[in-house]
Amino acid sequence: MSFLFIGSTGDRAGHSLIAWAIAQRLVEKGLNVGFLKPFGTNPIHIEDLWTDPDAFLFREVLNLREPFDRICPYLVSEEAWRQKETQEIIDRIKSLAQELSIGKDILLIMGSRQIFFDDVSCHVSDIAITNDLMADFVLVNRYRETSRSIYSILSVCSLLKDRIKGIILNRVPAEKLEEIKDHVVPSLVQKGIPITTTLPEDPVLSFRSLGEIREALDGEILWGDESLGQPVSGMTVGSADLRGKLQLFKRAYNKIILLAPSLDREIEETATHRPVAGIVLTGGRNPAPQLLQTAKNAGIPLMLVKGDTFAVLERLEQSTPPLSPKDEIKVRYFTELMDSNGALDRLVETVT
């Protein structure tokens, strides 16, 4: 039995998606995988109790039977556990790790939003848990700037040393990718830092569905319920993308145009008109019958939400839906990215 801790140097680094890809590859190799996330974030209400989205995700995709309060014992929304001593919390996590590892070949442990102490909601660090469990460690670094990424990686390596089995530099902007691959990575490798792979910022992985947008905005679908799975790649308050009969919506001032991803990114970047995935009418007032009929004729989903257009737009931009079992297309896409240079298999071989 072994423990594999997956930690992150920053919020939205993608370590949930990376953990899912690793777990899936371990299962494909015939291993029995367990899951533990000591500290839950962004609690969700399911099965008459509050739990963490990652606890729900991995319980589903790994077909686990353990209760949520074992998979994720400490939620950010609960106050009582913060009064406990650090060692008491670590001891319980160690006990749960042993319990959850029974009958498993490897226990996957997910860290908090980030490995450092910037999150005041939790006074127990991922570093302390990793060392106490004597776990292997995979670090996910979300690229912000080169100097910051190097500093974060070197700092973690100095604290965990040989426990680090792989480092993934994730969400690197396209204009920085060549510099990172040709200069930064070789320099770190020469220092003995186990860099696994460098992955670009990819808009496909940030797509959300119409259904997710409806949930985020508490919206009402006026037309197009059957298209809730349609992916959305962007949004605009302009009318330049309205073509043909949809030009009638130029008369509706309170609206947000949801854009569909193009199959050809180069065409998408240069096109005058981008494909429309749906239209959100703001203000909470039902549209004129002509607008509703136009949406039906064009096969474009129509959503109604309350609130001012720019307030709704801000809510949408700030809301980041957690991964769910329905996001299998994202993990497949991400796995393909890692498999393009054999990075996922190399990582899995290192930790098994």
pLDDT at site 297: 94
Residue 56, classed as helix, strand or coil, is: helix
Residues 335, 274, single domain; the answer is no
CB atoms within 10 A of CB 316: 18
pLDDT at site 146: 92
Residues 277, 329, single domain; the answer is no
pLDDT at site 272: 56
Residues 142, 271, single domain; the answer is no
Residues 178, 213, single domain; the answer is no
Residues 46, 167, single domain; the answer is yes
- 312 strand-pairing partners: none
Residue ranges of alpha helices (H) inside the chain are: 15-28, 53-61, 68-71, 86-100, 126-133, 146-160, 174-179, 185-190, 210-217, 265-270, 289-298, 309-318, 328-339, 343-351
pLDDT at site 265: 46
CB-based contact 141:14 (threshold 8 Å): no
Residues 119, 164, single domain; the answer is yes
Residues 52, 156, single domain; the answer is yes
pLDDT at site 11: 67
* Residue 257, both tokens: 């145009």
Residues 21, 132, single domain; the answer is yes
Total domains, the chain: 2
- 141 strand-pairing partners: 169
Name, in order, each residue with C-beta under 8 angstroms of 7's C-beta and a sequence gap of 6 or more.
15, 111, 112, 114, 115, 126, 130, 137, 138, 139, 140, 156
- CATH number of the domain to which 37 belongs: 3.40.50.300
pLDDT tens string, the chain, 352 residues long: the values are 799 999 998 767 888 999 999 999 999 999 999 999 999 887 888 878 888 999 999 999 999 999 999 999 998 777 778 778 888 999 999 999 999 999 999 999 999 877 875 455 567 889 999 999 999 999 999 898 899 999 999 999 999 999 999 999 999 988 999 999 999 999 999 999 999 999 998 877 777 888 889 988 999 999 999 988 888 888 888 888 898 989 999 988 899 999 987 654 444 444 456 889 999 999 999 999 999 999 999 999 999 999 999 899 888 877 777 788 888 888 998 999 999 999 999 999 999 8
Residues 226, 80, single domain; the answer is no
Q: What is the pTM of this model?
A: 0.77
Residues 6, 84, single domain; the answer is yes
pLDDT at site 24: 96
Question: Could you list the residue range(s) of the whole structural domain that residue 267 is in?
Answer: 206-318
- CATH number of the domain to which 235 belongs: 3.40.1390
Please provide the distance, in angstroms rounded to a whole number, between the alpha carbons at the two ends of the chain: 10
Residues 50, 185, single domain; the answer is yes
Separation CA 261–CA 46 (nearest Å): 31
